[in-house]
Amino acid sequence: MDKMSECEIVKDLAIPYTEGLINPKSKEFVDVHLSTCNNCMKYYKDIKSDIFKEKYNEVQEDKIVINQFSKINKKINILKICLISIMIIVLIIASLLFAKYQKNNNVINRSYNQIESMKELNNYKLTVKTIQNNFDTNDQMNYEEVYYYKDGKYKIESDNSIKFYEDNSYEKICVYHDLKQIDYYKQDFIEMTKGDLIGIFSCVLNYKEMSSTVYNLALTIREERYNGIDCYVIRFGDKNSYTDTWINKASFIPVRVVNEVYSDFYREEIYTFQENVVNDLDVDKEILNSEQYKDYRKNEIDNNFKERTNSNKDLQYLFK
Ligand SMILES: [Zn+2]
């Protein structure tokens, strides 16, 4: 074999040799030739570095693909965490809102049921103290009314007047101390039926309507002491005004309603409710025949609704 054809054979074997895919005898032949032929040796070195580069590039490409996958994986994980966090936050908010809804509903329902049951009572006294300030005109009012109810008879007493009613009666009596006058009314409509007085707690009756709807969430309830009584305070308000209804935590009877229009108007009603403290004399109109009232002028008044209005009987509530 001449030198030239040996070189060609050695060059042909370059790739299998470099990758170690050559039998020992051929390897020995190549090694011997390379040790004597610089030309082939250079060729082998070039091949080696080409293969190395190729492999290196392959590895790099693999690395890039792996990197891209792991980046996508990371993004998916971040997305998952975000979604789960959002779901947890939504769940927390929803359960807080639901807890608020339940609490509002519970307090208002219990108070409403208490008031409804009070309408059936036959003996009670209700004192209503009113404080009213009008900041515009600087008017201040401060007065007290006492409502007595026993077995169908009412007496409503204030500083200046006394009124007597009976359930389902067509009569009422109004006494005016400043005028020294007693008006005996005969009317063609019934002014009072049993339980009407308890309507003074209309604050809670209105909330009852709201509490089972989404408006429930417009109400807030806090707990506070008033006059030594632990109370729930239901607030309905905005930045201009509020109404606070104070409800005795133990009895669920309202004890106070405060209504304020900021820097304009303030009104407060304080309720004291007592059961079984009224005696027959408290609601007896016979007292008007006593010595105390002998100077009072007595008028009989026909208060006939139909004659005065000629209109629908349903409008009677206007004159209550
Ligand atoms: Zn050679």
State the Cα–Cα distance between residues 306 and 190, nearest whole angstrom: 13
Alpha carbon distance 267, 257 (integer Å): 8
Q: How far is the CA of 45 from the centre of ligand 1 (A)?
A: 13
**Which has more confidence, 52 or 84?**
84
pLDDT at 166: 95
Mean pLDDT of the chain, nearest integer: 90
CA distance 77 to 82: 9
Q: Which two tokens stand for residue 14?
A: 């370059």
- Cα(37) to centroid of ligand 1, in Å? 5
227 CA → ligand 1 middle, Å: 115
pLDDT score for 214: 79
What spacing in Å lies between the alpha carbon of 6 and ligand 1's midpoint? 6
Return all residues near 133 (Cβ < 8 A) that are at least 6 apart.
139, 140, 141, 265, 266, 267
Cα 40 to ligand 1 centre (Å): 4
Q: Locate tokens 């209309």: which residue?
A: 202
Q: What is the mean pLDDT of residues 192-210?
A: 88
Look at residue 120 and tell me whether its pLDDT is greater than 90: yes
**How close is the Cα of 5 to the center of ligand 1, in Å?**
8
pTM: 0.71
Topology at the third CATH level for domain 117-319: outer membrane lipoprotein receptor (LolB), chain A (2.50.20)
How close is the Cα of 4 to the center of ligand 1, in Å? 7
Please give the span between the terminal C-alpha atoms of the chain, in angstroms, as a whole number: 136
For residue range 150-171, list pLDDT tens digits in order: 999 999 999 999 999 999 999 9
Over the stretch 235-250, which tens digit does the pLDDT of each residue have?
999 999 999 999 999 9
- Distance from residue 54's CA to the centre of ligand 1 (Å): 25
Which of 111, 104, 316 lies closest to 203 in space, CA to CA?
A: 111
At residue 320, the pLDDT reads 41
